[in-house]
A and B are shown apart, each in its own frame.
Chain A
Amino acid sequence: MTTLDSRPVATEVKDNYLTFTRGLLSWIFTLDHKRIGVMYLFAVLGSFFVGGVMALLVRTKLLFPGRVEWMTADEYNKAFTLHGAIMVFLVIIPSIPAALGNFVLPIMLGAKDVAFPRLNLFSFYLWLAGAACAVYSLMAGGFDTGWTFYTPYSSQYSAGGTIPVLVGVFILGFSSIFTGVNFVVTIHKLRPPGMTWFRMPLFLWAVYSTALIQILATPVLGITVALLVIERAFNIGIFDPSMGGDPVLFQHFFWFYSHPAVYIMILPGMGIISELIAVHSHRHIFGFRFIAFSSVAIAIFSFLVWGHHMFTSGQSPLMNVLFSAITFSVAIPSAVKVFNWLATLYKGSIAFNTPMLYALSFIFLFTIGGLTGIPLAVLSTDIHLHDTYFVVAHFHYVMMGSALIAMIGGLHHWWPKMFGVMYSEFWGKIACALVFIGFNMTFFTQFMLGSQGMPRRYYMYQPEFQIYHHISTGGSYIMALGFLITAIYLIHSLFAGKKAPANPWGGASLEWQCTSPPPHDNFATTPRVGDCYDFSAVRWDEKEQGYVIDTEAHIAAASSGKGH
């Protein structure tokens, strides 16, 4: 972090949040939502690196169908477990709300900070504590349960680091809950005059829906892992049938959280895409209300479908039928969003900036991820596909191809705002293309692997599957190269990037109306708001090398209902 402080800021007229105070302590004890967001960002990206290395180890092992000398079955099991647990609990769940959301949300509201700045800092330290538990668990023998921690394997047989990592997940849950509470209160109480619910950026609708899920679902995860720790530590039978427990009960508890958690991961991503598509198409978002309400609908439906993870678990067939039927209800709002994004492109003025390339990649990948969910929701075909690579491919298309790609798109979108510098557009596009190609090579082949019947979490496999694994692993190396290039040009931009204008893309929401990087207090006075998707008052300014917005005309257009 100190390197950021030493960045040359001679050209700045006045202090920004990065230079407002100096020294390590000013970061450790900061209550500034922007600094907390930046700390989250680097922590999450660091975890993403570790989780990514684990994925590459797993993929490299799978080049070979049999045993390999450099990785035993137990090590392989620990590697894929670590990959899954890190990516879910340390990366994707906090990535968009806690890192980007923390930075952008108050500025989008024209507020000086979130409602509870101290709670915000506390939840970051809870995240660090949770991550520390995960690191400790590696030293205590690691854990090999898969990220799902199914009992009774996890309560009796798994490796020695299981309890520490469960404690870590428990703590991370509270980090997530506190962030959610903070955002709900902030959005309710700190909206500026004139920003009605239907004037609020769609990213905030998405983050708001996400926060509701975080608050309502995450306590169940906390209770579940606490019960599991109690069972494992004190031999009190809750889930283990040899002590009178019920392992299927664990699956119900676990998925009651973890299915909504899927939407904790994807909803904020959808919110980012709504912003990106509108801003880089320079045109009013199509069907604001349908997109906004579909976020809320997804949040509500997400609580009613957890049983579709358990069609083969032995729960009653009647439950399977009900859960299958309800699951389809999630497909509708997701489809509505995709169609609305498409309609936003229609008659737009589409600029192919790096963030937009990620947004377009998202539409491509999310369409595949969403459609391949259908054969998994259908009872008879899911029996064949359940727990095969088809499921692995499906959720990677949604979790990585969608949620994480949206996060990276958002990162590129707001990077100039966060650090006041532009990255290399050339390398940005190259890296995006590599990630897109690599991703599809890696995971599309896994659809065939799965539908041909290869089970997931297999250390060894039948030689007939080898060709698919070779393509898949090759793709993962290409993807890794793309991310490596991204890391290099982003870090390079921090030191040598061109100074960013206040509004490089032509956005009309409030964050583009303060300087890049924003000052400590974001806005000197509470800003007046117009329609954040009305770009009629946005003009390119050659001198500024960025866009400027005619505030008076912008607000006048909104109050007269014109500008669409």
Chain B
Amino acid sequence: MKRRTTVLTMIPTLLSQASNDPALAAGQPVTPRDFWLPQGASTVAPEIDWVFHFINYINYFFFFLVVGLMFWFMWRYRQRGREVYARGPSHNTMLELGWTIIPTIIVVVIFFMGFKGFVSLKTPPENSYQIDVTAAKWYWKFKYPNGATSDDLYVPAGRPVKLVMRSEDVLHSLYIRDFRVKQDVVPGRYSSLWFQADNPTGQNEKGEDAFHWLFCTEFCGTGHSDMNRKVFVLPEAEFDSWVVEQGRWLDKVDEKDLWWKAGPQLYRACASCHTLDGSVGTGPSWGNYDGTGNVWERTKPGSTHKIDKGKNLGDIIGPGKEYETPEGYLRESILNPGKHLVDPYGNVMPTFKGQLSDRGIQALIDMMKNLDKFNKDGTVKAEAIPQAAGGAAGDAKK
């Protein structure tokens, strides 16, 4: 997008030496830090900064106008002697209408400038790379599509990134100042924001990894000011290998431990819709409801669990039927959730294709098979943990 160069658009450019060069210079800000603003490092930053500086110049004008006139009048019309009565005009309708109407026009213009920037801030591109964010007292957790997690935020350069955020307790707010983005994280609902950073953070002059600060900006108690993290922007190829490496945690879990080590971790993404205690959620509970057994028991041959408006689940599972094994049905339900719908639920579940590896699906199905060994909150019961690994119960809870 190219803006026509006018006198007004040049003013902030002259001040901040803003560069429109899209070269992906590592460590280079899109706009450098100036007297008012920190460096700008996202695609929306230059536009927002421009509006900020534009308002500033209007403000300088009116401030010096008001204060200049005030000091001039103070000197020019200072009291001389105590014979006091001063004759000045008591009103002037045209003048007063003038200083009512002119500011009105100015603020209408400013409103539209802010509105335009806000629309870009609120419209994530279709192909955004989604990262799930969990905020809690007092940490952030970032989860990538392949299941990898991290405490600091890593994002690919040159690609729109959408953060989908939830809170486990109180209000938090995610703020990356160099990207000029901020959004409250509200318990009980999802909120989101997006940004695109074109320049990788690279290294600073001391050879350390450079980064952008991420702050919590909604007061959340004792550790509020500890809730800051670093944001690293990696070149896309470097990011892709980073996220794969980071996602390997699942591969490192032993096959026989998948059900209690990996299952509960992955289940946390399912927990917002699927309860374990049979209570009603957005999706069918994995636990026993209506006396039909838990999710694994319901897929046994001959199951009369109702799906697709009146059919029996047992009719599609079994040798020669649509799914040879219950595992096949469960796998399809995760990767292609709209194909069969449990009554009376609608088609609302997103697909986890590309987000869950086969190993991840295996872990979830293994967890379903052992559902009686789990607490209602999705953590494994201490006594159910295999003896040899008893000491590692904490891992599973995490």
Contacts and interface: CB of A to CB of B under 8 A. Distances in A.
Interface of A: 73-74, 77, 144-146, 150, 152-153, 156-158, 241-242, 245-248, 281-290, 312-314, 317, 320-321, 324-325, 328, 331-332, 335-336, 338-340, 342-352, 360, 363-364, 367-368, 371-372, 374-375, 377-384, 386-388, 448, 451-453, 455-462, 506, 533, 535-536, 538-540, 547, 564
A350 B77 contact: yes
Contact of B118 (A152, A317, A448): A317
A340 B70 contact: no
Interface of B: 33, 35-38, 44, 47-48, 51-52, 55-56, 58-59, 62-63, 66-67, 69-70, 73-74, 77-80, 82-92, 95-96, 99-100, 103-104, 107-108, 110-111, 113-118, 120-122, 137, 169-171, 173, 175, 177-178, 180-184, 186-189, 191, 213, 215-226, 228
A349 B88 CA distance: 10
A324 B112 CA distance: 10
A398 to B, nearest CB: 15
A336 B55 CA distance: 19
A247 B85 contact: no
A345 B86 CA distance: 10
B186 A374 contact: no
Contacts of B114: 324, 377-382
Contacts of B100: 290, 332, 335-336
Contacts of A331: 103, 107
Contacts of A456: 217, 219
Contacts of A462: 213, 228
A547 B83 CA distance: 10
A146 B219 CA distance: 8
A492 to B, nearest CB: 26
Contact of A328 (B33, B99, B107, B219): B107
A383 B91 contact: no
Q: Which 10 pairs between the two chains have the least Cβ-Cβ distance?
A: A241-B188, A380-B117, A453-B177, A378-B114, A347-B88, A379-B118, A540-B82, A345-B73, A283-B86, A349-B86
B37 A452 contact: yes
A328 B73 CA distance: 29
Contact of B186 (A248, A287, A381, A538): A248
B394 to A, nearest CB: 24
A242 B188 contact: yes
B83 to A, nearest CB: 7
Contacts, number: 286
Contacts of B67: 363-364, 367
Given A459-B224, A460-B226, A349 B115 contact: no
Contact of A77 (B36, B110, B221): B221
Contacts of B182: 312, 383-384, 386-387
Contacts of A288: 90-91
Contact of B222 (A77, A248, A360): A77
A351 B84 CA distance: 9
Contact of B116 (A349, A380, A536): A380
A452 B110 contact: no
A375 B55 CA distance: 7
Q: Name which of A156, A350, A352, A388 has the most chain B CB atoms within 10 A of its CB.
A: A350
A401 to B, nearest CB: 14
Given A242-B188, A538-B85, A381 B73 contact: no
